[in-house]
Amino acid sequence: MKKYNLFLAGQWVTGKQYAEVTDKATGEVIAQTAVAGEAEVKQAVDAAEQAFQSVSLSPYERYAIISKAASLMLDRQEEFAVLLSREAGKPIRDARGEIGRAYQTLILSAEEAKRLTGEMVPIQGAPGCGNRMAYTKRQPLGVVCAITPFNFPVNLACHKLGPALAAGNTVVYKPASATPLTAVLLCEVFQQAGLPAGCLNLVMGPGALVGDLLAKDERIRMFSFTGSVPVGKSLQKSAGFRRVALELGSNSANIVHGDVKDVKEVAELCARYAFTNAGQVCISCQRVYVERPIYEKFCLAAKAYAQTLETGDLMQETTTLGPMIAEKEAVRIEAWVKEACEDGAKLLTGGTRSGAYFAPTILTDTKPGMKVICRETFAPVFSIMPYDTIDEAIASVNASTYGLQAGVFTSSLEIAHACAEKIQAGGIIINDGATFRMDNMPYGGVKDSGIGREGPAWAIRELTEEKLVVFNFS
Catalytic residues: 247, 282
Which residue, among 194, 261, 255, has the nearest Cα to 398 in the 3D structure?
A: 255
Q: Please report, to the nearest 10 degrees, the dihedral formed by the alpha carbons of residues 287, 443, 227, 24 taken in order.
A: 70
289 has which bridge partners?
255, 385
In 211-286, at which residue ranges do the beta strands (DSSP E only) sit?
A: 220-226, 243-247, 253-256
Going by their DSSP bridges, the two strands 253-256 and 287-291 should be labelled as parallel
Element at 69 (helix H, strand E) = helix 59-75
299: left (phi over 0), alpha (psi -120 to 50) or beta: alpha
Q: State how far the alpha carbon of 386 is from the alpha carbons of 227, 288, 294, 393, 396, in Å.
A: 31, 8, 9, 9, 11
User: Are the C-beta atoms of 41 and 210 separated by less than 8 Å?
Assistant: yes
**Spatial distance between the Cα atoms of 147 and 247, rounded to a whole number of angstroms:** 11
Q: State how far the alpha carbon of 56 is from the alpha carbons of 170, 405, 460, in Å.
A: 11, 38, 18
Radius of gyration of the chain from Cα atoms? 23
DSSP type of residue 84:
H
**Spatial distance between the Cα atoms of 173 and 46, rounded to a whole number of angstroms:** 13
Going by their DSSP bridges, the two strands 120-121 and 3-4 should be labelled as unpaired
User: Are the C-beta atoms of 451 and 244 separated by less than 8 Å?
Assistant: yes
Q: State how far the alpha carbon of 8 is from the alpha carbons of 44, 66, 185, in Å.
A: 5, 19, 14
**Spatial distance between the Cα atoms of 304 and 309, rounded to a whole number of angstroms:** 10
Residue 27 neighbours by CB distance under 10 Å: 12
In 10-128, at which residue ranges do the beta strands (DSSP E only) sit?
A: 11-13, 17-22, 29-35, 120-121
